[in-house]
């Protein structure tokens, strides 16, 4: 009987234990703050809008109750309303969003202290209800606008302390009123803070899961790049191999034909091979032939500059250079300089019938000269190379706009 296979071999982050105090390592804690703020900012404008409506409604009710009440309340109410509006602006402005939580706490303190002030100065049988602003403020920072747990805990403690101190300083109330208000506030605060603790713990766990999965994606992407590099790069010369060359060249032609903004204006292709390379291998051996290929390929590799230009090993001793956005004359100059630099390497070649050193023959074609796809461009360059070799080798030939091959003098 075979053992059951693991259906989830990669860790997901859900198995990572989170400490009770919620703190993560410093770099992760910084990233989580940004993650937390981004999640809160999506709902904060709506929550703060609700708070603004409640403040405006309170002003309306207080004006209906009596002028003495609204006379005491309208200034602090207007101030808190302005603070709520400022918090909405912070939540909607990306570069100011980091100030959202401090501004929200300032709003909560303003609402709580406004309630304490009105509870003392308003003469009305129901004035004690103003002290309920404190639990309402705690609910706002813990449930409506999620403030980080420890900030919410400290702020709630200070607001409750301020309310209790105000009640003690003003004992002219019905029996047990202060005790009832304090117990109700503590009940609301404990439930709200517990909910905020659970919410933040779940959010932190989700953050850890996403962080682990992000690392997996990065590792997988890096592995894919390595595999792609191994599949498209020639191991001997470091040039792109034929498969990679065909893929890149076809992509460039596709962009060129589609009129893509990133497409090159023209594509020039240089095809060259080493003159009498078989004789070189026969004379000096295949290890020396491999060293010769490396040294020859380094010449065009050191000459290409644009990001979209590349050098490819087409097969055996044949190489392809693709130049984008260079004029045809620049491509010809490139080919002649490359041919001259290879000759100046001075690699001995006693088996050559054109020189005592290693030389190359080059064929040049351009997309401006009638090639509608990469295959035709290669065919034109191959025809030019064939005639360069037939004309004596160690020279550059080009396919002109009339479809005729010319030798570069």
Confidence of residue 326 (pLDDT cuts 50, 70, 90): confident
- The side-by-side arrangement of strands in the sheet containing 396-399 is 310-315, 318-324, 267-274, 360-366, 396-399, 405-407
Closest of 37, 128, 54, 138 to residue 90, by C-alpha: 37
Q: Which of 3-7, 156-160, 240-244, 377-381 has the lowest mean pLDDT?
A: 3-7
Q: In the predicted model, what is the mean pLDDT of residues 357-368?
A: 95
Question: Domain 242-407 belongs to what architecture?
Answer: 2-Layer Sandwich (3.30)
Q: In the predicted model, what is the mean pLDDT of residues 357-371?
A: 92
Confidence of residue 377 (pLDDT cuts 50, 70, 90): very high
Confidence of residue 162 (pLDDT cuts 50, 70, 90): very high
- Residue 95 or 227, more confident: 95
Model pLDDT, residue 308:
86
366, 403 Cβ separation under 8 angstroms: no
363, 397 Cβ separation under 8 angstroms: yes
pTM over 0.75: no
Q: In the predicted model, what is the mean pLDDT of residues 147-166?
A: 94
Q: What is the pLDDT of residues 261-305, one digit of tens each?
A: 777 888 999 999 999 999 999 999 999 999 999 999 999 999 998
Q: Which residues are bridge partners to 363 per DSSP?
A: 271, 397
The Cα 92–Cα 343 span in angstroms is 66
pLDDT(46) > 60: yes
pLDDT(250) > 50: yes
Question: Residue 364, class by beta-carbon neighbours within 10 Å (0-12 exposed, 13-18 middle, 19+ buried)?
Answer: buried
- Domain limits, the chain: 26-214, 242-407
């Amino acid at each position: 009987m075979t053992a059951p296979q693991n259906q989830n071999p990669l860790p997901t982050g859900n198995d990572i234990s989170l400490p009770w105090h919620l703190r993560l390592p410093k770099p992760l804690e910084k990233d989580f703050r940004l993650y937390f703020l981004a999640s809160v900012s999506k709902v904060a404008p709506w929550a703060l809008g609700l708070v603004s409506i409640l403040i405006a409604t309170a002003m309306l009710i207080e004006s209906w109750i009596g002028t003495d009440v609204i006379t005491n309340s309208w200034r602090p109410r207007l101030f808190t309303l302005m603070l709520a509006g400022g918090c909405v602006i912070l939540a909607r402005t990306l570069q100011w969003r980091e100030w959202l939580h401090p501004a929200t706490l300032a709003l909560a303190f303003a609402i709580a202290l406004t309630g304490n002030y009105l509870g003392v100065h308003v003469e009305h049988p129901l004035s004690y209800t103003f002290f309920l602003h404190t639990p309402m403020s705690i609910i706002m920072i813990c449930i409506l606008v999620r403030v980080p747990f420890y900030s919410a805990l400290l702020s709630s403690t200070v607001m409750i302390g301020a309310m209790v101190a105000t009640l003690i300083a003003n004992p002219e109330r019905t029996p047990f009123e202060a005790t009832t208000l304090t117990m109700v506030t503590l009940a609301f605060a404990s439930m709200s803070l517990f909910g905020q603790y659970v919410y933040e713990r779940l959010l932190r766990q989700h953050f850890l899961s996403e962080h682990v999965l992000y690392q997996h994606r990065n590792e997988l992407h890096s592995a894919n790049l390595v595999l792609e590099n191994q599949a498209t790069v020639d191991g001997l010369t470091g040039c792109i191999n034929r498969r990679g060359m065909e893929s890149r060249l076809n992509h460039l032609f596709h962009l060129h034909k589609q009129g893509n903004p990133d497409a090159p204006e023209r594509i020039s292709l240089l095809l060259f091979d080493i003159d009498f390379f078989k004789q070189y291998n026969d004379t000096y051996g295949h290890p020396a032939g491999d060293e010769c290929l490396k040294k020859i390929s380094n010449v065009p590799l050191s000459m290409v500059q644009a990001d979209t230009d590349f050098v490819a090993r087409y097969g055996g001793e044949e190489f392809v250079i693709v130049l984008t956005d260079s004029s045809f004359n620049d491509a010809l100059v490139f080919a002649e300089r490359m041919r001259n630099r290879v000759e100046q390497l001075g690699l001995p070649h006693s088996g050559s019938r054109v020189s005592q050193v290693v030389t190359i023959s080059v064929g040049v074609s351009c997309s401006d000269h009638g090639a509608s796809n990469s295959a035709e461009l290669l065919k034109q360059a191959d025809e030019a190379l064939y005639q360069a070799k037939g004309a004596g080798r160690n020279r550059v030939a080009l396919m002109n706009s009339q479809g005729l091959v010319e030798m570069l003098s």
